[in-house]
Amino acid sequence: MQNITDLAVGLLAALFIGVSKAGFGGGLGLLSTPLCVLAFGPRDAIGILLPLLCAGDVFSLLHYWGKWERKNLVYLLPGVVVGVVIGVQLIGRFSARELNIAIGSLAMFFVVFQVGKELIFRAEGTFKPNGWIGLPFGLGAGITSTFAHGAGPLVSMFLIPQRLSKVVYVGTTVLIFTWINWIKVPFYCLDRHVVDWSWVPPEAIINRHTLLSSLRLLPAVPAGVWLGVWLNRKFSEEGFLKIIYLLTFLTGAQLVFNFDLARWFRG
């Protein structure tokens, strides 16, 4: 950790993971990635976040066990595996600045999608998923999740038109992201110094440095899950989500346009 500010931002990001995994705050989890990128840089951020996401998945999976449509995982999984392999290669080819732009753009797109999804899917009738349609969605989800932990919009676009109940929708999302995140783990641990494959990144994305950082942030994940459960019982998400979407959009814009905030405050 570079300083106390980075630690505070990282703990906030881990807390948001827990809150979102508890089913509160829809898009709150995506704010974790741009926040960590601001604190630790894009490559370290995605390596730090993956173990935290996997830990959050365990809590969510236990809570929503069996409350899912398994067929959606079957339809998406082949594309996800191929997408993860492609995504790992993209990480190795992007500079830090290019990764910032990619992650920031995904964050901004996610907000636009969340705000407009009711209009997009207002048409009557339900969507019948199948393997052919699931393949490109899974491919896109695997790619975006690998280099930005940002597959939320694509998975939502696949699930929302099916008109699933809220519990089944959340449970199916939990199941899909648990598989996506755990599939990424071995690829994140690959190191070209150990495995002589040209598509493997020069250095492992999850390494000793990122694991130590993840361990420091880990306690915030179960704390966030507890907070999310409590918030679900006490508050409506509507007003809360508006604030989260605004923060996510602004954080994404900061990554894309790299505003000199310090100069603004100095006047």
Enumerate long-range contacts of 119-127, CB under 8 Å, 24 or more apart: 121/160, 121/161, 126/161, 126/162, 126/163, 127/161, 127/162, 127/163
The verdict on pTM exceeding 0.85 is no
Q: What pLDDT band is residue 264 in, cutting at 50, 70 and 90?
A: very low
pLDDT, tens digit (0-9, with 9 covering 90-100), for 205-225 = 899 889 999 999 999 999 988
Report d(CA 52, CA 47) in Å as an integer.
10
Q: Does residue 187 or residue 120 have the better pLDDT?
A: 187
> Considering just the CA atoms, what is the radius of gyration of the chain in Å?
18
Residues 214 and 48: beta-carbon distance below 8 Å: yes
Cα–Cα distance, 200 to 222 (Å, whole number): 32
The answer to whether 164 and 69 have CB atoms below 8 angstroms apart is yes
